[in-house]
Amino acid sequence: MNTEYLTKKTVVSFFVLVLFLSGQSFLLANEPDSAYIFVYGAAKNNHHNGLHVAWSLDKQTWHPVGTEHSFVKSDYGPWGAEKKMIDPFLFRAPDGIWHCVWSLNNEDGAFGYASSTDLLTWNRQSYPLVLSTGNCLKPMIAYDDTNDVYTISWTSDKEHNQAYFVTTKDFKHYSPAKKATVFLPRTEKVALPDGQQSGTLHKVAWHTVDNVIKAQQLAAYKTKLNSERMTDDDQRFSTLKDVKATINVNQNTTRQISDLLVGIFFEDINYAADGGLYAELIQNRGFEYSPNIRKEWDNLTAWNVYDAHSKLSIDTVSPIHINNKHYVTVEASAGGGLYNEGFGGIAVRANEKYNLSLFARAPEANIANLLIRLEDANGKTIGQATIKRLTKAWKKHELTVIPTVTAENAKLVIQLQEAGKVNLDMVSLFPQNTFRNRRNGLRADLAQAIADMKPRFVRFPGGCVAHGNGIENIYHWKHTIGPLETRKPQRNLWGYHQSYGLGYFEYFQFCEDLGAEPIPVVAAGVPCQNSAHNGHPLAGQQCGIPMEEMGDYVQDILDLIEYANGDVHTVWGKKRAEAGHPEPFNLKYIGVGNEDLITDIFEERFTMIYDAIKEKYPEIHVIGTAGPFYEGTDYVEGWKLATKLHVPYMDEHYYNPPGWYIHNQDFYDKYDRSKAKVYLGEYAAHIPGRASTIETALAEALHLCNIERNGDIVAMTSYAPLLAKIGNTQWNPDLIYFDNTEVKPTVGYYVQQLFGQHAGNAYIFSDLQLNNSDDNVRKRIGKSIVRDEVSGDIIMKLVNLLPVEVDVESNISELAVDSENIDATILSGTPADKDAKPIHATVNLDDFKLKPYSLTVIRFKEKT
């Protein structure tokens, strides 16, 4: 072993153990009673670094706590452009509570507010809108103890530095803003090693300083652990060899675990729906693309004139349906027309049947026939059909086309047979060969890759897509059902178009086809916490559906449950039956909210929805939301609210580096079993460059082993995101990449697949002994042994995150009918490997070896 490394590591660990992890105060022999803190927000990193603290005994020599360490950050507006904390002002009230206000940007007439009892944990933030035209710069707090009133004053440079103030007793309700005659900044300037800063000065008990210092040190230590990478293993484990693990299985100590543990989260991100899982081959079939979504787009995107003489224009007069306003008018001579290029080409297979449909109208009744052809990249016709007798009114025409050859890059050409004018809309080319041969169904190969994971549930339609970028972008399920031409397309917040051809009916049907529980997610009456506010705070993340409209919104959610489960005589059950599914879909769970900012606005709306569902459908399990991280204000406040309301399930999200999964293996062992169960709705291991590699996949496998042990409290998990179309990806890594013809699963996919295919319903406890006492080694071996009561199999999953083989001895053979030549599946490679695939092998249960950097799944029949 590298002794220098060990020595450094031992010193750090000892330091950490003594100072932080014991949770005890480390008393100095000679510590002051009090000290000064200076609290400020540096402009560095465009004001994104939040609230900083420095301390001093004499107001002369200052010690910044950490380098750019943030004690609280602003959560206002979208990541990147906003979330700035400008000129924070901290005020300590007589009751000891710290109140902080700050300026959000140079535009908005709102300021940021948060409070804390200890400067370490901060309560939910609010951004009161106090001015409709001016901005709020350098906000400050003063307190009048005779009336127990706080005054917040600020200046607005949009109005020639006019000063304003509001008063409040509770930082929730504010008086209307009034103009003030003077604005006297009460901030101090302090010279710090990094330069002069402006902020507030406070005299505090020494233990406040001590706690602040320790909190920063602990945070820095955790960051260091979490950022451990396998690229450092050469050094970390340079002398490691002959690792031997002994696993003693205690078959009598078991824990019932959820049988829904591994599912999927489908979100329309990365062209996952249109151009992806939804098998439609025509892009912009309804002529509804718009520059409001992408500036280079218009209603004719993906469409082109077939010859130079043809003319295409977009009309809206008497459309097929008001939700599908635009259609194309083609004016051409005989043989002229237009073509669609699909989603980067149309891929068709020889001799397979394709349903071609379109709505057509010949306004002047002078066109008789349309010729429709599939043309390959060389302009050769590879399939065709004719539409005869166009009518003056809109009419839907349906045909079948059978390509004679396979082509990856075909286009669909529509030609007028005689000169004239025709209106066209909802032009569709759909393979008959869809997953389970559904009409308007899903791409068979992609859906099969998903089915091969054996997902126990499907969460849909988002993610951020569910709560939308601003109120007007919230996903409304009712816009996504019924005949395709009546669905109301929507801007996808990931920067493209949602036709909603894959809508709620198709989602429910897909779940049924997979044998998976449907878990729809509806917005909690608030949009995405990352919504842009376009200059008006009430239009962005801080808005909620106005309370006077919430009744209708809640009713929509109740209607969704009726659509899924109601009998055919109910209003919405009837619509499901009309769509071809009279039997209920058996909905049991519904997610309300998606990693929202937990604010008072959120709480009011979430509670309203939750109470309404509980009252009308007490059998439905509501899943609440705990923010986008595994810690922090939204996580804490989300859980507090869930505990208060007795919400039965909580959706957690985190995307962490591999080191986090290695160093937080007891994350769920600490969870209170009497509170809500966890649905880990989104997670993945992220490394710089955001690839899915053996390193990330094994970190995820390790986490899943720890989750199986906690399968009593963690009810469900889903990796995120699921799908990504190559060349149209907004987020990496994803589980399955694809193009128009190929499906390319990642290493992470195989981990999910192995855990999905080899799930169990009872966890069998065991202990692991190593011939090596280094904690770093111990933490890199994961195990989970489960019993699948349905098949009568025992499944052992072992993860080796070490660069060396591990020799395993175990008494597990006592459980097996036969302990030799047992089937094993092994996923292994080098840490950076992106192409590893599972291989099959046989092992002897008493004695086998784990490959370096591997996941091994062993399955065998249990002795009865």
Which residue number, 461 or 537, has a Cβ lying nearer to ligand AHR? 461
Give me the residues paired with residue 822 across strands: 843
Q: Are strands 517-522 and 496-498 parallel, antiparallel or unpaired?
A: unpaired
| Cβ 628 to ligand AHR shortest distance, Å | 5
CB of 786 to ligand AHR, least distance (A): 27
**Beta strand pairing status for 243-256 and 714-717?**
unpaired
CB 430, CB 440: distance < 8 Å = yes
User: Which uninterrupted H or E stretch holds 548?
Assistant: helix 547-565
Which of 228, 595, 652, 708 is flagged as catalytic?
A: 595
Smaller CB separation from ligand AHR, 265 or 327: 265
Q: How far is the CB of 465 from ligand AHR (least distance, A)?
A: 6
**DSSP track, 124-166:** --B--B--SSS--EEEEEEEETTTTEEEEEEEEGGGTTEEEEE
Q: Which residues, including other chains, have CB under 8 Å from residue 97's CB and lie 6 or more apart?
A: 115, 116, 117
Task: Name the minimum Å distance from CB 277 to ligand AHR.
Answer: 15
Helix (H, G, I), strand (E, B) or coil at 616: helix
Quote the DSSP letter at residue 262: B
Burial (Cβ within 10 Å: 0-12, 13-18, ≥19) of residue 757: middle
Which residues are bridge partners to 313 per DSSP? 329
- Give least dist CB 45 to ligand AHR, A: 21
Residue with Cβ nearer ligand AHR (216 or 529) = 529
Q: Closest distance between ligand AHR and the C-beta of residue 546, in Å?
A: 24
Tokens 């107001």 belong to which residue?
59
- Residue nearer to ligand AHR on the CB measure, 354 or 475: 475
Phi, psi (rounded to 5 degrees) for 509: -65, -40
Closest to 342 measured CA to CA, from 454, 230, 443, 232: 443
Rounded to 5 degrees, φ, ψ at 675 are -95, -170
Buried b (16+ CB within 10 A) or exposed e, 708-728: bbbbebbbbbbbbbbbbbeeb
Q: Are 441 and 432 in contact (CB under 8 A)?
A: no
Query: Looking at this protein, which amino acid is placed at residue 280?
Result: E
- Taking every pair of Cα atoms in the chain, the longest distance, rounded to a whole number of angstroms, is 100
Name the residue nearer to ligand AHR (CB basis): 54 or 464. Answer: 464
Residue closer to ligand AHR (CB basis): 720 or 812:
720
3-state SS, one letter per residue, for 678-725: EEEEEEEECCCCCCCCHHHHHHHHHHHHHHHHCCCCEEEECCCCCEEE
- Which residues are near ligand AHR by CB under 6 A? 267, 269, 462-464, 594-595, 628, 653, 682, 720-721, 731
Nearer to ligand AHR, 82 or 376 (CB): 82
Helix orientation angle between 206-226 and 3-16, rounded to the nearest 10 degrees: 140
Query: Residue 275 Cβ, how far from ligand AHR at the closest point, in Å?
Result: 18
Distance CA 90, CA 204 (A): 13
CB of 529 to ligand AHR, least distance (A): 9
Q: How far is the CB of 730 from ligand AHR (least distance, A)?
A: 9
Say whether 35 sits in a helix, a strand or coil.
strand
Whole-number Å distance between alpha carbons of 92 and 89: 10
* 156 vs 718 by CB, closer to ligand AHR: 718
Helix (H) or strand (E) holding 509: helix 504-514
Q: How far is CA 159 from CA 102, 155, 162, 163, 174, in A?
A: 19, 9, 6, 9, 21
Q: In the bound complex, which residue of the shown chain has the CB atom lying closest to ligand AHR? A: 463
Shortest Cβ 685–ligand AHR spacing (Å): 14
Tokens, residue 271: 């062209």
Pairing between β-strand 98-103 and β-strand 649-656 as defined by DSSP bridges: unpaired
Tokens of 655: 């995307």
Q: Token pair of 465, please?
A: 């897509």
User: Which of 801, 844, 774, 766 has the alpha carbon at shortest distance from 247?
Assistant: 766
Q: Minimum distance between the CB of residue 467 and ligand AHR, rounded to whole angstroms? A: 8
d(CA 630, CA 626) in angstroms, rounded, equals: 8
Does 595 participate in catalysis according to the annotation?
Answer: yes
Please say which residue, 482 or 591, places its beta carbon nearer to ligand AHR.
Answer: 591
Write down the least CB distance from residue 431 to ligand AHR, Å.
28
> 659, 633 in Cβ contact below 8 A?
no
What burial class does residue 625 get, using C-beta atoms within 10 Å of its C-beta: 0-12 exposed, 13-18 middle, 19+ buried?
buried
- Alpha carbons 304 and 548: distance in angstroms, whole number: 46
Closer residue to ligand AHR, CB minimum distance, 428 or 492? 492
In the bound state with ligand AHR, the residue whose beta carbon lies nearer, of 544 and 628, is 628
Measured CA to CA, the distance from residue 563 to residue 559 in angstroms comes to 6
User: Closest CB to ligand AHR among 403 and 721?
Assistant: 721
Q: Which is nearer to ligand AHR, 749 or 848 (CB)?
A: 749
467 phi, psi to nearest 5 deg = -100, -10
* Tokens encoding 723: 């799908």
CA quadruple 384, 389, 390, 395: dihedral positive or negative?
A: negative
> DSSP 3-state assignment of 207?
helix
Closest distance of CB 462 from ligand AHR, Å: 5
Angle 484-486-492 (CA atoms, 0-180°, nearest 5)?
Answer: 75
Catalytic residues: 595
